[in-house]
Structure formats: C-alpha cells, structure tokens
Chain A
Amino acid sequence: MEKTTYKVKLEGKSQLHEPNVKLEGIQINLWSTDGGETWINDNVIVNVSGQLQVGMSCKAISGTAWEFAVTNKTSGKAVLEEEGQTGSSGIPNYSEIFKSVNP
C-alpha cells in the first residue's frame, strides 16, 4: 500500500446538491465557497494498492452540466477527468460514476 495525496474537484455550471465522492470506498469531505457550484477537497490522503477506486454522485436540476477531476498532487497528473449532465443516465436530477483508474 502506498499513501498518495489527491486533489478532488467537482464543478457544476449551476448549484450541485448532495455531492458525494468516495476514494477507495471512503467518503471524503467537500467544501464550497461559491454557493455550491464548485466543491473541492485539495488534500485527500489515501492508501492505494493497485487501481484507485473512484465514485462520485451529485444531484441538480436535470441538464445541469458538471466536470469532475481527481489529480495526483505528487505527480501533478489528473488521474480522472469526467464531464456530464444530471439526468443523462436516465435518473432525473442525478449523476453518478464509478471508475477504476491508475493512481
């Protein structure tokens, strides 16, 4: 197992409700200073063995666009970059992703 530090950023074009991000199955805290459009935790320390398991979910009025990024702070590389819109997966007002990525 290796301790790795990540920056997590979820950015909506409008307010996102109940944002939920898990790294290796552990829910992390997120903070917003712009009224709930951008949610950040820039210092997440995770023990990783093999692939990094990433999960994200959020709620917003259907059609709200969002961008999600997880960045390895040591290497400076984005290990995951995703974008989408709430409701596009069939559940109105909701988005979720689950990915396994190189840490």
Chain B
Amino acid sequence: MKQIFFLIVILPLSVFSQTSIVQDKSGETSLNFSNNKTVLFNSGDASIGAGFSFSNVTPKKNNGLETFWGWAVKLKSNDGISTLLDGYDFMPRFTLGVFKGRAMKSSSKSSSNSIYYGTDIGNSVFNLLSQQTLNKLEKTSFFNWRIKLGFNRLGAWGKSTTLFGISSEFGSYNNLDDLTAVERYKSSIDNSSTPSTIVVSNKKSGFSGDYKEGNMLKINMDYLVFPTCLKGRVGLGGYFRGGLGGDFSRQNLGVGCFLGKEGAPDKIVLGLVYQINDVFNQLKEEPSFQKRTGISITAGYSF
C-alpha cells in the first residue's frame, strides 16, 4: 500500500524532474549538465530517492551562450520505502534547491563549459534509538542548508565524449548515513497453539549509533567517458567525494557504468556504481576495507 502511495505521489511530479546522469550512493554529484525530466531510484544504502527540477534557459544576446536557472527537489526515504510512512507520520528526507549558471566561451568546437552556483535547504525526520534506554525510538528532525559552486566541462578524448565536473559545497550535515538501521517490535507469546507462536507487532524503524551534526566543506569530482561504440550510449567513469571538517572528514571513491537512451545518451535509464566508503578509514568505524565497499544500482526513466 505504501509503495502504491509513493508511486502515486512521485510519478505525476516527474514531468518537471531532473536528475544528473551520475550519482553516488547518497545521490550526490557535481554534474549539472543534463536537463532530464527523470524519475530516478537509487538503491545506495538501501534507500530510495527521487529528484525533480525545472530549469529555464535563455541565450545571452548575440553570442549563443545560454544562462540557466532552476530548482530541484529531492526526496529520500530512510532504509527503504517502508519508512516513508511511519504509522500516520510522513517521514521523508527532502532537499529543496535553487541554482543559476551560465555557459562559458570555449575555443574548441568539441567542448562546452559552464559554471553554476546555488543553495539547498532540507529537512530530515527520522527515529533515533535512545542511547540511554536502548528501547525507545525518539522522533528527531534535522534542518540542513548548503551553498555550492561548480564547474562542468563537456569535452572530447579522441572521438569519445568526456564529461568532467567539480563542485564545492559548504553547509550543515549529519551522519545519518553512517548509523545502523534498526527495527523495534513489541512481542508476545501465543500459547494457544503447539508449538507456541511469538507474535510481533507495532514495528518501528529507526537508527542506532553515535548521532552527530555539524558543518563541513565538501569537494565533489566526476569524470565520465562515452566511447563511440554502442552508439555512444554507455558511459564509464568514476567520482570522488571528499569531506573536510571535524567529525565528518572522509573520502569516498566510486566507479560505475551508465546506460543512456539512443539519441540522448545523457538521459540514463540504468546505472551501476561500485563505491568505496571512507577510503582511508578516518571514521574508524569499520576496519575491514571490503566491508566499506558497496554496489549501488540506479534506475531511471526519462520523459
């Protein structure tokens, strides 16, 4: 029922949607190229998200260089779609952003550069397991803000297309993605049958761990190559996410491949990402390198 509700709410909004062609497991990117009208689901960290935006593009007079502005909305449910609704509580994580940018004059016919800047605000509502009693889930909310500045370049390597993006963000973060997803049930024993049955009810989802909030500077970089084979529809590349600041310092690396539509390679329909979290184990949360890695599947539909 909740899945149906989610689809009914999300799909009509997707007419105005935009998501970048490359996302990491948290749905972040430095690429702001495509204006895809897309609804997209990211399986990273067992979460499901969707992004929507609308942008308006006008050329600067007589030189063909466009300026653009737009807005974007991201919705994400914690630990899968089942926690989007918790009883009668609607508990999404959402971000609302505005951005503005412009193309820059390029000396090459093969390349196109642009810069953009913007700001995001957002809110997360989630259940946090009390560290004192360990049996109570407390409803917690987190308001966040960010400012960002980015540069994108459409280029060429031989006859292949390359996309490069770099962006810097500063703002407030929490470590919700680092916490352990937990579920709490009420249980009782039904002795009327043999063997006895344990009845669990009143399921609640939340997070457990050392929850922190703070400010951080982030550097995001993405690089993609679209070889000429397969009609240029397959993009191969990687990304870097660097966080600098107190409790949140870490570096994530990822490689992935993305399949785009015929005639519109930047409208992705499927992406597969292999990500290494906290490459240098700065958080000291998981000593095993292998356990800090994961695979994320991104599926989208472009209109």
Distance in angstroms between the alpha carbons of A94 and B154 in the assembled complex: 11
The reply on A49 being an interface residue by CB < 8 A is: no
- The A29-77 residues at the B interface (CB cut-off 8 A) are 29-37, 57, 59-65
A35-B68, A61-B232, A63-B226 in contact; A13/B112 too (CB < 8 A)? no
* Contact among A14, A35, A65, A93 with B110 in the assembled complex (CB-CB below 8 Å): A93
A64-B263, A87-B228 given; name 5 further pairs at CB < 8 Å.
A57-B109, A59-B109, A61-B163, A62-B159, A65-B264
Name the A residues within 8 Å of B103 (CB-CB): 17-18
In this complex, what residue of B is CB-closest to A34?
A: B35
Chosen A-B contacts, 16 in total, with CB atoms closer than 8 Å, are: A15-B34, A17-B114, A18-B112, A19-B66, A31-B58, A32-B66, A35-B54, A59-B109, A59-B154, A61-B154, A62-B160, A63-B226, A64-B263, A91-B109, A93-B155, A96-B109
A64-B266, A91-B109, A93-B154 in contact; A37/B232 too (CB < 8 A)? no
Q: Tell me the minimal C-beta distance from B285 to chain A in angstroms.
A: 38
Query: B266 contacts A35, CB within 8 Å?
Result: no
A13-B264, A18-B64, A18-B112 in contact; A62/B161 too (CB < 8 A)? yes
Query: A63 contacts B57, CB within 8 Å?
Result: no
Q: Tell me the minimal C-beta distance from A30 to chain B in angstroms.
A: 6
Query: A35 contacts B263, CB within 8 Å?
Result: no
Distance in angstroms between the alpha carbons of A27 and B57 in the assembled complex: 18
Q: Tell me the minimal C-beta distance from A16 to chain B in angstroms.
A: 9
Q: Could you tell me which B residues sit within 8 Å of A by CB distance?
A: 18, 33-36, 54-59, 61-62, 64-66, 68, 70, 103, 106, 109-112, 114, 154-156, 158-161, 163, 226, 228, 231-233, 261-267
In this complex, what residue of A is CB-closest to B263?
A: A65
Name the B residues within 8 Å of A20 (CB-CB): 64
Query: A27 contacts B64, CB within 8 Å?
Result: yes
Name the B residues within 8 Å of A35 (CB-CB): 18, 35, 54-57, 68, 70
Distance in angstroms between the alpha carbons of A37 and B302 in the assembled complex: 13
Query: B58 contacts A64, CB within 8 Å?
Result: no
Name the B residues within 8 Å of A57 (CB-CB): 109
Name the B residues within 8 Å of A15 (CB-CB): 33-35, 266
A18-B103, A61-B154, A61-B163 in contact; A36/B68 too (CB < 8 A)? yes
Q: Mark interface residues in A73-103 (1 if CB within 8 Å of B CB, else 0).
A: 0000000000001010011111010000000
Among the interface residues A31, A57, A93, which one has the most CB atoms of the partner chain B within 10 A? Answer: A93
Q: Tell me the minimal C-beta distance from A52 to chain B in angstroms.
A: 20
Q: Tell me the minimal C-beta distance from A60 to chain B in angstroms.
A: 8
Distance in angstroms between the alpha carbons of A35 and B55 in the assembled complex: 5
Query: A27 contacts B110, CB within 8 Å?
Result: no
In this complex, what residue of A is CB-closest to B55?
A: A35
